[in-house]
Amino acid sequence: MTTPESSPSSNFIRDLVVADHAAGKHGGRVVTRFPPEPNGYLHIGHAKSIALNFGLANEVSGGACHLRFDDTNPTTEDPEYVQAIQEDVRWLGFDWHSKMFYASDYFEQLYTFAVTLMKKGKAYVDSLTPDQIREYRGTLTEPGRDSPYRTRSVDENLDLFARMRTGECADGTHVLRAKIDMNSPNINLRDPILYRIRHASHYRTGTAWHIYPAYDFAHPLSDAIEGITHSICTLEFEDHRPLYDWVVAETEALHRPQQIEFARLNLTSTVMSKRKLLELVEKKLVAGWDDPRLPTLRGLRRRGVPPEAIRAFCEHIGVAKRDAIVEMQLLEHFIREDLNKRSPRVMAVLRPLKVVLDNYPEGAVEELDAVNNPEDASAGTRKVPFTRTLYIEQDDFREDPPKQFFRLAPGREVRLRYGYIIKCVSVTKDPHTGAITELHCTYDPETKSGSSQEQRKVKATIHWVSSAHAVPAAIRLYQPLLLTNQAKLAVDQDWTQSLNPHSLELLTGCLVEPSLRAASPGARFQFERQGYFCLDPDSSSGTLIFNRTVSLKDAWAKLEKTQQPPQR
């Protein structure tokens, strides 16, 4: 059963796949694939592709989506990434079942296909230098020229190619090229390189090979070997499609997959390219691949973003061919929406201000009932200790309150969440700096939460922790990684100059309610009135460290920004 919310939204690829399936094309099979190269970590842009490919396979009966490592370049790939990619795909919530493959497993078959091409006179060994090849290729507006080696005999090609394989030729001395058309207006068709010599150890095949297939050769054939029906990739491969089709046709591969292109995901105020992400990690501009500021799946996970939120986001942004930059706020919306429904609420004070309740009995401890999740009655309640000395948020007190400020101020009343209404009677300041050091308040015993006594209303309810019971914590607040958008980065000489110097703010001396002492790393909470936070694995039994996943929407902050100049 599908509801309007859960039914996938229409997009041109889904429509096409569904139509093919209904028409019985490819024998009614739908086989997609997610083909990462194991040379980097997955990010939310990959999530869009993963959700599309696995989603499609899950939607049609008998569909399948393969996870295939496109590992044809020994110099950049590493098993570390193979492991990480699998973990991330699983974490996102997708399953390739037993369909995990490596392009490197096809090296032998690919070699045979190359031989087929040579025998048909459709490929030749070129011995031009890399510089010459570039020169012979022509430019966007000028046609290329045939290489003098283009007319080598089949036997010579076969012999040379075999010798390339055995390792007797140095890197760069020869390549295998498709024989297509050096005059083609599509540069990809000007005798594209199919194989290059690389005397490098491959993480899976070791030194068995000295030649490695290029993407344009390996990819279509890997798809064909696996019986992929719909080979979905991004827009920049659009003008490789004629070559994709040529390779599949000329090698006479059994299956003819269809390549379909869509626009990759871009997000405001972050970077998505592998190169830039790698640069951030290598230059230690961030703490690692799982730095919560990064749009990597590991970064998002560590930040506390649930995979469900990422999937909902991917479904919502749709799939189209126009270039797009999605606002980060949209991602944040789906994170809040998900977390609102299921995060337990707790109280935590980020910037503590001491409050003494002058008329509250010294030494007394009340266990107040607090609701765990107003969105989910089954989440139950918990006890929170209440005492004479508390801490509240510095932001929740203003000595000289601006208009619309409903919180505590001298002479004003406010409710303590799950507790009593209190009134500020005096302010203690540091005699030298003038900084507010503590507040003295009185509480109204008639106003205890849930009591049947007088139910007075006050304008605001604020969170608090008991001084004697609070647990110290450190909290990391995150801001956008970038001050500018990706679109503008290309022209910047050094894009790292656009990094936000305040993307990470570490708060120490925070105080959280005692129930949090039992939390395990990865656990997500809503700190009431502040945002969603996730216990970081860096936490030890002595120190709790939380990452702010996303703040709550803050109507007051918005109001204050537009109405009043900041007071502090």
Least separation in angstroms between CB 290 and RNA = 22
Out of 326, 356, 425, 427, name the contact with RNA by CB under 7 A.
Answer: 326
C-alpha angle 539-544-545 in degrees, rounded to nearest 5: 70
Nearest residue (CB) to RNA, 460 versus 474 = 460
Can you tell me the distance from the alpha carbon of 66 to that of 102, in angstroms, rounded to the nearest whole number?
10
* 226 is known as an active-site residue: no
Query: Which of 19, 187, 249, 468 is in the footprint of RNA by CB under 7 A?
Result: 187
Q: Which residues pair with 125 in a beta bridge?
A: 176
Which listed residue (448, 485, 489, 507) binds RNA by CB under 7 A?
448
User: In 3D, which of 104, 17, 44 has the Cα closest to residue 332?
Assistant: 44
**Residue nearer to RNA on the CB measure, 256 or 448:** 448
User: How far from chain centre, in Å, is Cα 61?
Assistant: 29
Instruction: Please say if 264 is a catalytic residue.
Output: yes
Q: Does 568 bind RNA (CB under 7 A)?
A: no
Minimum Å gap between C-beta 355 and RNA is 16
Q: Which two tokens stand for residue 61?
A: 């009966």
Q: How many residues bind RNA (CB under 7 A)?
A: 97
* H helix runs in 93-129, sequence order: 107-119
Residue 37 engages RNA in binding (rule: CB under 7 A): yes
Q: Which amino acid is at 403?
A: K
At 101, is the secondary structure helix, strand, or coil? strand
Residue identified by tokens 């607040």 is 477
Of the pair 256, 264, the CB lying nearest RNA is at 264
Q: Which of 37, 238, 332, 438 is catalytic?
A: 37
120, 321, 488, 517: which one binds RNA (CB under 7 A): 321
> Which residue type occupies 368?
L
Binding to RNA (CB under 7 A): which residues in 137-166? 137, 139-141
Cα–Cα distances in Å, from 447 out to 73, 177, 367, 454, 455? 70, 84, 15, 6, 6
Stretch of residues binding RNA (CB under 7 A), selected from 55-63, 94-102, 282-290, 404-412: 404-412
Q: Which of 51, 133, 271, 305 binds RNA (CB under 7 A)?
A: 133
Residue number, 29 or 117, with CB nearest to RNA: 117
Segment lying near RNA (by CB under 7 A), choices 295-303, 411-419, 432-440, 473-481: 411-419
- DSSP class of residue 503? S
Which CB sits closer to RNA, 222 or 291?
222
Q: Does 167 bind RNA (CB under 7 A)?
A: no
Which residue shows structure tokens 């691949």? 289
Distance, in Å, from the CA atom of 495 to the CA atom of 446, rounded to the nearest integer, reads: 60
Question: Amino acid identity of 264?
Answer: R
| Least separation in angstroms between CB 346 and RNA | 10
Interface pattern 357-386 for RNA (x via CB under 7 A): ----------------xxx-----------
SS3 call for 390: strand
- Nearer to RNA by Cβ, of 29 and 81: the residue is 81
Is 7 a binder of RNA (CB under 7 A)?
no
Q: Does 322 sit near RNA (CB under 7 A)?
A: yes
| Euclidean distance between CA atoms 120 and 234, whole angstroms | 31
Chain residues 210-239 in contact with RNA, contact rule CB under 7 A: 212, 214-216, 218-219, 235-239
Interaction residues for RNA, span 58-97 (CB under 7 A):
70, 72-73, 76
Q: Which is nearer to RNA, 340 or 496 (CB)?
A: 340
Q: Which is nearer to RNA, 76 or 543 (CB)?
A: 76
Q: What angle do CA 30, 36, 39 make, to 5 degrees?
A: 170
C-alpha 240/C-alpha 223 separation (Å) is 15
> Which 269-288 residues touch RNA, going by CB under 7 A?
none
Place of tokens 């295998």: 176
Question: Is residue 25 annotated as a catalytic residue, yes or no?
Answer: no
Q: Torsion over CA of 372, 92, 552 and 436, rounded to 10 degrees? A: 80
Q: Is the torsion defined by CA of 487, 490, 492, 498 positive or negative?
A: positive
The active-site residue, picked from 25, 122, 256, 274, is 274
Q: Does 488 bind RNA (CB under 7 A)?
A: no
Of residues 503-562, which lie at the interface with RNA (CB under 7 A)? 526, 528-529, 552-556, 558-559, 562
CA angle (217 as vertex; 212, 219 as ends), nearest 5: 100
196 binds RNA (CB under 7 A): yes
In angstroms, the first-to-last Cα distance of the chain is 55
Chain centroid offset of residue 464 CA:
34
Q: Tell me which residues are annotated as active site.
A: 37, 264, 274
